[in-house]
Amino acid sequence: MKKCPKCGSENPKNANFCKKCGKSLLNVKPETQSLRRTGNHNGGQNYNHKRYKYIVFLIAVIIILIGWMLLSKSSNERHSSEESMSIDVVQSAKSKKTTESTSKLESSSSSQTVKLWNSNKASQLASFMQSWGNQMNQQYENCGEDTNNDVDFHDYHFPNDFGNINYRVNNEPVSVTWSADGQGDADYNVVAIYSDANNPSSAGTHLYFFAIHNGSPIVLITEQSDGENQLNFKETANRDLRAGFEKIVNEN
């Protein structure tokens, strides 16, 4: 085939003039068609080559993605395993620390419980009550169960009648017991009793129970009898008396 250099039309290879525009084709070589075919053939080869490269590239990308996914999964599993081991170690350490703290607290609590009250603290309270009574112009006498005194408070004799009376605190029935060390299962574990009933003043008569209530020191007071074999107490409002007893109890 001959391609017209003027209009581009294709003509038979033996044509001398273009069948479309009449341009002379004497100097036009017929190899142009062959070259076109060769160009088309080469274009096809180039297309196939590009396609092959694309497929290879796609396969490489897929392989890389699969490898990355597997590596990421392995890393996550290892990280999770390490986190689990770390959590177990932390929990174990916390558990050990809690156990040690609990043991120390129980030991400390036990030690404090044993030291709540003793004969030395009883002597300190006796000195304190003498000093405090002088300030109040009142004379108090120890009438706890560890004494041989007899104090008559509105026909109740202490310490003899201590265990035979029904007690109330703020008009609520409570259990009261004598305790030599401050320990006991009663609502109020009484460690000392003081009264000025044998030496009344213009302020009337007072009966004080120095007790341990829920592990803490408390001073209860009553100034009169309710009859029917019962006494109603309330916590003293005197700050000096409360602070003095609390200080003695909390001393080692």
Contact (Cβ atoms closer than 8 angstroms) between residue 4 and residue 21: yes
Predicted confidence at residue 34, as pLDDT, reads 47
Q: What is the pLDDT of residue 182?
A: 95
φ, ψ of residue 234 to 5 degrees: the values are: -150, 165
**pLDDT score, position 101:** 65
Angstrom distance (rounded) from CA 188 to CA 168: 11
Instruction: Give me the pLDDT at residue 172, please.
Output: 96
Tell me how far CA of residue 178 lies from CA of 1, 193, 204, 210, in angstroms.
134, 10, 26, 10
Mean pLDDT by 10 residues, the chain (252 residues): 86 85 84 50 67 89 92 77 67 71 59 74 96 95 94 94 95 96 96 95 92 97 85 96 96 82
Going along 125-235, which residue ranges are E strands?
Answer: 141-142, 151-153, 156-158, 166-169, 172-173, 176-178, 188-195, 207-213, 216-222, 230-235
Closest C-alpha among 167, 158, 205, 202 to residue 188: 167
Q: CA torsion, points 121, 122, 124, 125, in degrees to nearest 10? A: 120
Residue given tokens 């796609």 in the structure block: 58
